[in-house]
Copies of this chain bind each other. A is one copy, B any other.
Amino acid sequence: MTWVTVDKVAQYEDQNVELRGWIANRRSSGKIRFLHLRDGHGVIQCVVMANQVSPEAFELSDRVPYESSVIVRGTVKKEPRSPLGYEISANEVRLIAEAADYPISKKDHGVGFLMDNRHLWIRSSKQNALLKLRSVVTNAARSFFDELGFVSVEAPVLTPTACEGTTSLFEVAYFDRSAYLTQSGQLYGEAAAMALGQICVYGPTFRAEKSKTRRHLTEFWMIEPEMAFWELPETIDLAEKMICRIVEAALEKCSTQLKTLERDTASLEKAVPPFPRITYSRAVEILKEKGVEFNWGDDFGADEEAVLSQSFDKPVFVTHYPADIKAFYMKREPQNPKLALAVDLLAPEGYGEIIGGGQREDSLEMLEHRIAEHGLPREPLEWYLDLRRYGSVPHAGFGLGIERAVTWIAGIHHVRETIAFPRLMDRLYP
C-alpha cells in the first residue's frame, strides 16, 4: 500500500492509502472515533467506525494517549466540512508506540513551561506553522539570490575580534587563546564580494545582549548580500525585490500556515513595490507630527520604530541616518558628511526594523580615521583595510534578520517562536 503524506491526499481520492503519524486529537461519538492524525505535513481526520476495523484497532483508537504514533490505513474521502477538504475512512489502525501522558494539553501553559518542552511544543499546530513559514522564507531568500547569480558564502562563526565594538560578544575558549562568536558576516562578506562580485552570506550571528525584549535573541540568523560596484539606490531596490519575493512565497506556499496563525493576509498583500523611501530627517518630522518627543541625532528605539512603521501600510525604507549613530564602516553622504549612506527597512504594523544596511566606506584614509574615532583596535582590522588598499570599489549590502522578518510575516508578538530552538539570556535548553 502507498504511504502518503497528508499534504498529498487530494491526489488519492477514493483510493486506499497508508498514513503514518501521531494522534493529535480525538473525538468520540457512539461507535465512532474521530482521530486527528498529524504527520508533519498536515493534520487529517480519520474516521474509525467500530464495524469497519478490528476490535483491537477500535480499542486503541479510543484509549491511547495523545502523541502516540500510529499507522492508519483507509480510503481518502472528499469532505467539504474539513479544512483540508478530505478525510480518511479508516479500515485499519496500528499502534507504533504508545505515548506516555503528554505534558502539553489544550489548557493554557506558561511560556516557560512550553519553552522547557520546546522539543514537543513544536509539534503543536501554531508552532509547526511558524517553522514551515520560516523554511519557506529562508528558502525563498536563498533562491532569490542564487537566481541573480550571487555566490553563497559562509562567513566564519569563530572570529578573532568584534565587528561593531567589543561589548555584547560571546567569548570562546579557542585552544590557548580567545575567540568570539560573530555578530555579523558583513566584513567577511565584503572581502568575498571583492573576490566574487556579488555574494550572499547566510548564517547564525550572536549578541550577548542582556536585553529581554520581544525582538532579541542571543543567537539569530541573517541573510547578508554584499555587492561590489553597487551603491545605495540599487541596494534599496534589491532589498525591496527580496522582501516582495519572500512575502509572495509565504502567501503562495503557506496559505494553510497563515490561516493557522490567523494572519490577516490583506496586510501582507500590500507589500508590493514601490515601498516608500524616507530620510531619517523626514522620519523625525513624522514622529514629531505624531506627538513623539524626539531629538534629531538620536537613534530610533523600538517605540519610535513602531510609530514610524504604523504610519505606512507597506514596509518603509529609512535612509540617511546621522553618521554618529551608525557603524564605523558606513560611507558618508558626499553632500553632507554628517549623514551616513545607511538604510533600514521597517516592517509595517509596528514591527519595526527587519533590514539594516547601506553603502560601505571605500576610502582607506576615511576608514582608518573612523576606526581611530570609534576607538576600535586597528590590528585585527588590517585585513579589512586591505580591501581598500588593493583595488577599492564602491560597494554596498544589507542584512535581513530572519526571525524578525518571520515574526512580521506571521503576525506574531515575539521572535522566540520563529526558530526551532531559541536562545535567550535565560534559555539554553533544550
Given contacts A97-B362, A157-B157, A429-B380, contact A149 B193 (CB under 8 A): no
Could you tell me if A69 and B393 are in contact, using CB atoms closer than 8 angstroms? Answer: yes
Smallest CB–CB gap between A205 and chain B, Å?
Answer: 10
Smallest CB–CB gap between A411 and chain B, Å?
Answer: 20
- A302 at interface by CB-CB < 8 Å: no
- A173 at interface by CB-CB < 8 Å: yes
Q: In the complex, what distance in Å separates the CA atom of A160 from the CA atom of B430? A: 7
In the complex, which residues of chain B have a beta carbon less than 8 angstroms from the beta carbon of A87?
Answer: none
Could you tell me if A429 and B40 are in contact, using CB atoms closer than 8 angstroms? Answer: no
- Which of A123, A218, A384 is packed against the most chain B CB atoms within 10 Å? A123
Q: In the complex, what distance in Å separates the CA atom of A73 from the CA atom of B108? A: 67
Q: Which residue of B lies closest to A422 (CB)?
A: B156
Could you tell me if B391 and A69 are in contact, using CB atoms closer than 8 angstroms? Answer: yes
Within A33-84, the residues touching B (CB, 8 Å) are 39-41, 67-69
- A299 at interface by CB-CB < 8 Å: no
Could you tell me if A191 and B119 are in contact, using CB atoms closer than 8 angstroms? Answer: yes
- A10 at interface by CB-CB < 8 Å: no
Smallest CB–CB gap between A360 and chain B, Å?
Answer: 13
Could you tell me if B156 and A139 are in contact, using CB atoms closer than 8 angstroms? Answer: no
The main secondary structure of chain A at its interface with chain B is mixed
Which of B384, B386, B428 makes the CB contact (< 8 A) with A158?
Answer: B428
In the complex, which residues of chain B have a beta carbon less than 8 angstroms from the beta carbon of A102?
Answer: 390
- A197 at interface by CB-CB < 8 Å: yes
Stretch at the interface among A128-136, A324-332, A350-358: A128-136
Q: Which residue of B lies closest to A153 (CB)?
A: B420
Could you tell me if B197 and A393 are in contact, using CB atoms closer than 8 angstroms? Answer: no
Could you tell me if B170 and A153 are in contact, using CB atoms closer than 8 angstroms? Answer: no
- A370 at interface by CB-CB < 8 Å: no
Could you tell me if B170 and A171 are in contact, using CB atoms closer than 8 angstroms? Answer: no
- A20 at interface by CB-CB < 8 Å: yes
Stretch at the interface among A174-182, A273-281, A283-291, A307-315: A174-182
In the complex, which residues of chain B have a beta carbon less than 8 angstroms from the beta carbon of A243?
Answer: none
- A188 at interface by CB-CB < 8 Å: yes
Q: Which residue of B lies closest to A382 (CB)?
A: B430
Given contacts A132-B151, A228-B40, contact A387 B97 (CB under 8 A): no
Could you tell me if B179 and A174 are in contact, using CB atoms closer than 8 angstroms? Answer: no
- Which of A123, A195, A391 is packed against the most chain B CB atoms within 10 Å? A391
In the complex, which residues of chain B have a beta carbon less than 8 angstroms from the beta carbon of A26?
Answer: none
- A389 at interface by CB-CB < 8 Å: yes
Could you tell me if A420 and B152 are in contact, using CB atoms closer than 8 angstroms? Answer: no
Given contacts A172-B181, A196-B128, contact A419 B154 (CB under 8 A): yes
In the complex, which residues of chain B have a beta carbon less than 8 angstroms from the beta carbon of A428?
Answer: 158-160, 174, 177, 179
Q: In the complex, what distance in Å separates the CA atom of A419 from the CA atom of B135? A: 24
Within A377-397, the residues touching B (CB, 8 Å) are 380, 383-384, 386-394
- A408 at interface by CB-CB < 8 Å: no
Smallest CB–CB gap between A187 and chain B, Å?
Answer: 9
Q: In the complex, what distance in Å separates the CA atom of A121 from the CA atom of B218? A: 33
Could you tell me if B173 and A170 are in contact, using CB atoms closer than 8 angstroms? Answer: yes
Within A415-430, the residues touching B (CB, 8 Å) are 419-421, 423, 425-426, 428-430
In the complex, which residues of chain B have a beta carbon less than 8 angstroms from the beta carbon of A398?
Answer: none
Q: In the complex, what distance in Å separates the CA atom of A392 from the CA atom of B122? A: 16
Could you tell me if B430 and A383 are in contact, using CB atoms closer than 8 angstroms? Answer: yes
Could you tell me if B69 and A119 are in contact, using CB atoms closer than 8 angstroms? Answer: no
Could you tell me if B393 and A191 are in contact, using CB atoms closer than 8 angstroms? Answer: no
Closest 3 CB pairs of A and B: A40-B197, A383-B430, A69-B391
A selection of 6 A-B contacts at a CB cut-off of 8 Å is: A5-B197, A69-B393, A117-B383, A119-B384, A157-B206, A192-B420
Extra A-B contacts (8), CB below 8 Å, given A96-B391, A179-B428: A40-B151, A40-B193, A41-B197, A97-B393, A142-B142, A170-B173, A188-B430, A383-B429
